[in-house]
């Protein structure tokens, strides 16, 4: 992607389509001059942070293209720390494109995807984790995701990383000072203090690394498979959870022969629900294909809802299914509690997994099932850390590398290696944390991150 940071860039920042208002943004040293060359208003020049009403036209002798409100943001008090102009026109796609073309004719360059945010990063306005938070905010599918992304864009994760990095820098500085001035009367850290500081850094990095489970949960959501033998009410339960008739419901066993997928919003957490074919031995080749797919999907989901029919006694097929999924996270759902119950607690083997009783006909117990699912899969205390958790694999990889290097340094220290030896690993750890914030990030990584942004952001 272009890195000509001295260019003045322009782009339409609102989605293309009919709307009341559309916004065009410029950023760069010539933003105000270029705008003033096509904007005619009572004042002679644009003033910082003062919206001005005027007309957009190529010249006085040509027709007015549109009436617009223009706001100028003088550097460095702007998003990119460059001169920025925002032009608010009527939201006609034709008008917006015509205004943009005028700006390009006057010397601006079309911005590439994410280039405004890239400039904010390159100018030191935000770090790389904040830039990723902005991207996540734009791509959020639920309000909760948007709230967390906004916190990260505001620097919540950066604030959590900062003290860890400072501890690492301080330890490196003290150890290097001890080496450089070993012959002078300069005190160095005791072995006990070095050990304590390394342990503290490792604990902090481990906690940060573990936070990715929360970040992944929020960004990607969960995949939950509804599994059981035929006619236990899986499709009815699927429909009741989604509050829509998405899956065909029939008393004929084997009606569902393929995986049906739908996504819902569970208190801000995106949940992908999978209704699977009833698992049993069948002489039908078509039904067996569906059964095979159901078995395959079991290894790809975050949680399984194993459904039993409470109106009949425990069957051998139920027992076989329970044995199959015992090694992965699951809930046992006893369905059809609106009927006389024949499946008793005594028939069930000892289980540590939660058991919830529901009626997919009346909806009884569905709320408890959702609450149990949310409570089991997401630690609410962890979700309330003001967004201070890792949110993507790039961040996790950098922290894992820092953690690995710090642990390597501790092992060298325990083996009584010279300080010069375990300092190598500490510098590696610092380099990884710098990569997390973007201080030592190479250009191809930047291109990969910012190319996922929309144009105009």
What does the DSSP assignment read for 89-101? EEE-HHHHHHHHH
Residue 322 belongs to a domain: yes
- Assign 285 a pLDDT band (cuts: 50, 70, 90): very low
Please tell me whether residues 236 and 363 are part of one structural domain: yes
Same domain, 333 and 232: yes
pLDDT cut 90: percent of the chain above it: 42
Same domain, 152 and 92: no
- Residue identified by tokens 């509050």 is 243
Banded pLDDT at 206 (limits 50, 70, 90)? very high
Greatest mean pLDDT range, 207-221, 266-280, 329-343: 329-343
Question: Which position has the higher pLDDT, 184 or 37?
Answer: 37
Q: What local confidence, expressed as pLDDT, does residue 60 receive?
A: 83
- 288 has pLDDT over 70: no
Which residues lie across from 25 on neighbouring strands?
11, 86
Instruction: With respect to residue 452, please indicate whether it lies within any of the assigned structural domains.
Output: no
Q: Label residue 257 by pLDDT band (50, 70, 90).
A: very low
pLDDT tens string 61-116: 889 999 999 999 999 999 999 999 999 999 999 999 999 999 999 999 999 988 99
Q: What is the pLDDT of residue 375?
A: 75
Question: Do 198 and 306 reside in the same domain of the chain?
Answer: no
Considering the domain architecture, whether residues 163 and 122 belong to the same structural domain is answered as: no
Query: CA-to-CA distance for 207 and 425, rounded, in angstroms?
Result: 20
What span, in angstroms and rounded, lies between the C-alpha atoms of 291 and 287? Answer: 6
Query: Which residue has 């003001």 as its token pair?
Result: 386
The CATH number assigned to the domain holding 79 equals 3.30.1360.120
Tell me, yes or no, whether 73 and 108 share the same domain: yes
Would you say residue 279 has pLDDT above 60? no
Residue 4 has pLDDT above 80, yes or no: no
Q: Is there a single domain that holds both residue 193 and residue 326? A: no
127, 146, 181: which is the final residue of a domain? 127
Q: Is residue 4 part of a domain?
A: no
Confidence of residue 381 (pLDDT cuts 50, 70, 90): very low
DSSP H or E run through 176 = helix 156-180
Flag whether pLDDT at 124 surpasses 50. yes
Same domain as 292, residue 347: yes
List strand residue ranges (DSSP E) for 185-230, in order: 222-227
Q: What pLDDT is stored for residue 293 in this prediction?
A: 60
In CATH, what number is assigned to the domain containing residue 405? Answer: 1.20.120.430
Structure confidence at residue 252 as a pLDDT band (50, 70, 90) = very low
**pLDDT value, residue 71:** 96
* Lowest pLDDT segment from 145-154, 166-175, 356-365, 434-443: 434-443
Looking at the domain assignment, is residue 435 inside a domain? Answer: no
- 339 with 376, same domain? yes
Of 120, 68, 168, 145, give the one whose Cα is nearest residue 391: 145
Residue 1 lies in a domain: no
Q: How far apart are CA 126 and CA 381, in angstroms?
A: 27
User: Which domain covers residue 297, as residue numbers?
Assistant: 222-382
The whole-number average pLDDT for the span 186-210 is 89
Q: What is the DSSP letter of 346?
A: G
Give the domain-ending residue among 127, 158, 179: 127
The pLDDT value recorded for residue 443 is 60
Rounded alpha-carbon distances, angstroms, from residue 100 to 18, 30, 105, 335, 445: 16, 15, 9, 59, 30
Does residue 17 register a pLDDT over 70? Answer: yes
Within a domain: 193: yes
CA distance 388 to 149: 10
The alpha carbon of 112 is separated from its chain's Cα centroid by a whole number of angstroms, namely 22
CA angle, residues 338, 340, 341, in degrees to nearest 5: 100
162 and 30 inside one domain:
no
Residue 437, in any domain of the structure? no
Domain boundary among 99, 127, 155: 127
Q: What is the mean pLDDT of residues 349-367?
A: 88
pLDDT of residue 294: 56
Stretch 161-179: mean pLDDT: 87
Both 277 and 201 in one domain: the answer is: no
Total structural domains within the chain: 3
Q: Give the pairing of strands 269-275 and 222-227.
A: parallel
Phi, psi dihedral angles at 261 (to 5 degrees): -125, 135
CATH number at residue 265: 3.40.50.300
Cβ of 341: how many Cβ atoms within 10 Å? 14
In a domain, 436, yes or no: no
Give the relative orientation of helices 128-139 and 156-180 as an angle to the nearest 10 degrees. 160
Element (H, E) at 30: none
ω before 148 within 30° of 0 (cis)? no
Pair (149, 25) in one structural domain: no
pLDDT tens per residue, range 335-353: 999 999 998 888 988 888 8
Q: Is 451 helix (H, G, I), strand (E, B) or coil?
A: coil
CA–CA gap between residue 9 and residue 452 (Å, rounded): 18
- 387 close to 134: Cβ distance less than 8 angstroms: no
Distance of CA 265 to the CA centre of its chain: 15
């Amino acid at each position: 992607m272009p890195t000509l940071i001295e260019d003045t860039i322009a782009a339409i920042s609102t989605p293309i389509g009919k709307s009341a208002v559309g916004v065009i943004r410029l950023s760069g040293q010539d933003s105000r001059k270029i705008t003033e060359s096509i904007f005619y208003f009572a004042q002679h020049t644009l003033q910082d942070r003062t919206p001005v009403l005027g007309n957009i036209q190529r010249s006085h002798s040509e027709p007015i293209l549109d009436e617009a409100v223009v706001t100028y943001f003088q550097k460095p008090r702007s998003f990119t720390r460059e001169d920025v102009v925002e032009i608010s026109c009527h939201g006609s796609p034709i008008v917006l494109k015509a205004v943009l073309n005028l700006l390009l004719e006057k010397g601006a360059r079309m911005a590439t995807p994410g280039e405004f945010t890239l400039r904010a990063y390159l100018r030191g306005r935000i770090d790389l984790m904040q830039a990723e938070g902005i991207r996540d905010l734009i791509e959020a599918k639920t309000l909760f995701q948007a709230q967390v992304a906004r916190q990260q864009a505001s620097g919540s994760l950066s604030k959590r990383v900062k003290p860890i990095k400072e501890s690492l820098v301080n330890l490196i500085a003290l150890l290097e000072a001890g080496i450089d001035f070993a012959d002078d009367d300069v005190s160095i850290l005791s072995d006990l203090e070095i050990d304590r500081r390394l342990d503290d850094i490792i604990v902090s990095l481990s906690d940060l690394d573990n936070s990715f489970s929360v970040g992944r949960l929020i960004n990607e959501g969960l995949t939950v498979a509804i599994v059981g033998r035929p006619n236990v009410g899986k499709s009815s339960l699927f429909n009741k959870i989604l509050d829509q008739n998405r899956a065909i419901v029939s008393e004929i066993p084997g009606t569902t022969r393929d995986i049906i997928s739908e996504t819902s919003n569970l208190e801000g957490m995106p949940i992908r629900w999978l209704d699977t074919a009833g698992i049993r031995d069948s002489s039908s080749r078509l039904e067996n294909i569906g059964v095979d797919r159901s078995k395959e999907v079991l290894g790809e989901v975050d949680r399984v809802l194993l459904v039993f029919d409470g109106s009949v006694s425990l069957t051998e097929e139920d027992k076989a299914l329970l044995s199959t999924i015992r090694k992965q996270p699951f809930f046992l759902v006893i369905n059809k509690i609106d009927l006389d119950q024949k499946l008793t607690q005594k028939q069930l083997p000892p289980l540590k997994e939660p058991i919830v009783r529901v009626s997919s006909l009346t909806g009884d117990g569905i709320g408890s099932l959702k609450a149990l699912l949310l409570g089991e899969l997401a630690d609410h205390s962890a979700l309330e850390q003001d967004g201070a958790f890792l949110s993507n694999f790039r961040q996790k990889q950098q922290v894992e590398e820092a953690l690995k290097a710090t642990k390597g340094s501790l092992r060298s220290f325990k083996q009584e290696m010279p300080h010069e030896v375990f300092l190598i690993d500490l510098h590696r750890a610092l380099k990884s944390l710098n990569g997390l914030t973007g201080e030592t990030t190479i250009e191809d990584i930047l291109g990969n991150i910012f190319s996922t942004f929309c144009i105009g952001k």
